[in-house]
Amino acid sequence: MESLSGAEFAPKTTYLNTASAGLLPARAVAAMKDTLDAAASGGGYIDAAFASVEQARTTYAGLVDLPVRRVAAGASVAVYAGLIATALPSGAEVLVAEGDFASLVNPFAVRGDLRLRIVPLAELAEAVRPETALVAVSAVQSADGRIADLDAIAAAAQAHGARTLVDTSQSTGWLPLRADAFDFTVCVAYKWLLCPRGVAFMTVPDDLGGLAPIFGGWVAGEHPWDSCYGPVTELAHSARRFDEAPGLLSYVAADHCLELVAEIGPETIGAHDRALADRFRAGLAVLGHTPVAAPGSTIVSVPGLGHAAGRLAEAEVHVAARAGNLRAAFHLYNTAADVDHLLEVLSGLPG
């Protein structure tokens, strides 16, 4: 089972930690270096960099099957979750999964006047009730790779008049998803979408979801370069009104990173990644280890082995320790040989 990525990547270690951060493709590194050179030499790069923001937005919209007008470009899930939190009335109930990622959950917790209800992931759909204003959940759990039953959650939310917010940071790039099935989605792009840190996207309904662009600066204007001074008199008519001022160097690279993911396709990437994860699960069984049940996930989390992450790193095998578990994550630049090497090193470690 070979890499899907050709000459785009040349890892010098066994890198199996995409759930923490993806590797940058060569085309993105080259574009970022060229832009750095232009910035250092006084060359013009600003206009081209802003064009990269728009191209990245367009490519992302295609990946989640939405019109580009419904995609906002920013830098973090927490900022966008906070934006949605500010739109909720005092006393509103927000339903979240136990152990979900803090950047999604904490913006609702710190409001203080919202009712945050936490239930096990498997019980999320059945826990939606008429009082629920919003269900916020990660499509794939960061800690252990479990995949949420998004169809059931969306149906339950619709039945009770609740809105939905899905964090796709651990899924977009390998797990095809139609963002239109949910009211809001958020995604950081430095994991499975292979971008540098500082790139994130939010998707909103056609009516923009009743959100106020409370952090909107000049880039939130319908005509940004005419919106630099004083109040913005005409907000963007699209989700661009929710843009954060972009980290231009990151977006220059992101344009090329997203292009690569779109060229190969999430379906092809997902099939490749899942095959590697299943190979690891089979090897773990031979070694006597049982991972967290997460069928179909590209993230494999092994209870009781979190302590091994440091020893693996010494052997230049890079995974993560999360919630006491060893977490391995498989992506398009990984091969069967990477999986086998991980298993070989694991087999040689003391228990």
In a 3-state reduction of DSSP, which class is residue 40?
A: helix
For residue 351, pLDDT beyond 70? no
Closest CA to 76 of 198, 171, 217, 184: 198
Question: Residue 20 domain-assigned?
Answer: yes
pLDDT in tens, 5-63: 778 998 999 999 999 999 999 999 999 999 999 999 988 899 999 999 999 999 999 99
The tokens for 80 are 């966008």
The verdict on 92 and 133 lying in the same domain is yes
Output 348 or 288, whichever has higher pLDDT. 288
What is the pTM assigned to this prediction? 0.96
Average pLDDT, the chain: 96
Does 229 share its domain with 321?
Answer: no
Question: 282-331, pLDDT tens digit by residue?
Answer: 999 999 999 999 999 999 999 999 999 999 999 999 999 998 999 999 99
The Cα–Cα gap between 63 and 136 comes to 21
Query: Which residues constitute the domain of residue 270?
Result: 6-24+265-347
Q: Tell me the residue ranges of DSSP E strands in the chain.
A: 14-15, 71-74, 93-97, 115-119, 132-138, 163-167, 184-188, 200-203, 299-302, 317-318, 320-322, 325-329
Do residue 120 and residue 93 come from a single domain? yes
Q: What is the pLDDT of residues 259-273, one digit of tens each?
A: 999 999 999 999 999
Do both 337 and 250 map to the same domain? no
pLDDT for the residue numbered 49: 94
| Residue 177 structure tokens | 């998803």
pLDDT digits (tens, 9 = 90+) for 206-260: 999 999 999 999 999 999 999 999 999 999 999 999 999 999 999 999 999 999 9
CA nearest 35: which of 304, 223, 227, 249? 249
Six-digit token pair at 193? 């979408």
Same-domain pairing of 209 and 274 = no
Are 258 and 271 in a shared domain? no
Overall size of the chain counted in residues? 351
Judge if 269 and 138 occupy the same domain.
no
Across 304-335, b (16+ Cβ under 10 Å) vs e yields ebbebbeebeebebbbbbbeebbbbbbbbbbb
Cα separation, 336 vs 49, in Å, equals 37
CATH number at residue 305: 3.90.1150.10
Beta-carbon contacts of residue 210 (< 8 Å; ≥ 6 apart): 87
Q: Is the pLDDT of residue 1 over 90?
A: no
Q: What is the pLDDT at residue 105?
A: 98
Do 169 and 65 reside in the same domain of the chain?
Answer: yes
Residue 181 placed within a domain: yes
- Within a 10 A sphere around the Cβ of 340, how many other Cβ atoms? 14
